[in-house]
Amino acid sequence: MKDLSFSILIIPVLAISLDILFYTILSQKNTSKKIFNQYILTVISLSFFLNAIWEILQIHLYKGGVYTLLHILFCLLASAADAIMVMLIFFGFAIITKNGMWPQILKPIHIIFLILIGGVGAVLAETRHLSIGTWSYSDKMPIIPIVNVGLSPVLQFMILPLLIFTISLKIVKRF
């Protein structure tokens, strides 16, 4: 794990800005603002929580990864960035489908694209972080051939967004 640099913060700041912009646009177009807002809050919360669990569980797959307060705090920071990116994926799909509650009408094509976008995004992010030395893998990390990035972080973004959107929908429907 390397010290945080200004360049590492640029992408999350841009992503937060886009999230806010997309939220503003979609909340104005949504007929049920209360349900939409509950859903967004649930997605953000669940995204942070599930990504934090995943990040903490995979600490040992990174060089120097030990369960110390510093590493756990780094995982929580990564989880916040993950939640921001999950929201960007959600809003991107909402803009494309022209439906702020698109998970209600989840189609197989959505699932396929969600998994592909999550996987490609994770590969790009991992490649960047590995190249600038933000982190590196231990011998325990399974590596995906050709792209040479860790399997665990790629699976994280291929699995969790769909799970988060689906569970959040079920939670909001209860209320």
Q: Write out pLDDT tens, residues 151-168.
A: 999 999 999 999 999 999
Name the band, by pLDDT with cuts 50, 70 and 90, for residue 1: very low
Name the band, by pLDDT with cuts 50, 70 and 90, for residue 8: low
| Joined tokens for residue 169 | 């929908």
CA-nearest of 19, 27, 46, 51 to 170 is 46
- Does 60 score more than 60 pLDDT? yes
- Are 60 and 141 in contact by the 8 Å Cβ rule? The answer is no
Q: Which long-range contacts (CB under 8 A, 24 or more apart) does 37-46 make?
A: 38/172, 38/175, 39/101, 39/168, 39/169, 39/172, 40/87, 42/168, 42/171, 42/172, 43/86, 43/87, 43/90, 43/164, 43/165, 43/168, 44/83, 44/87, 46/164, 46/167, 46/168, 46/171
C-alpha of 161 from chain center:
6
pLDDT score at 13:
85
| Joined tokens for residue 81 | 């960035």
pLDDT score at 5:
63
Task: Give the number of other CB atoms < 10 A from CB of residue 173.
Answer: 10
Which range has the worst mean pLDDT, 24-38, 77-91, 146-160? Answer: 24-38
| Joined tokens for residue 88 | 């960007």
- The model's pLDDT over 85-103, given as tens digits with 9 standing for 90+, comes to 999 999 999 999 989 899 9
- Does 31 score more than 90 pLDDT? no
Taking residues 62-85, what's their average pLDDT?
A: 93
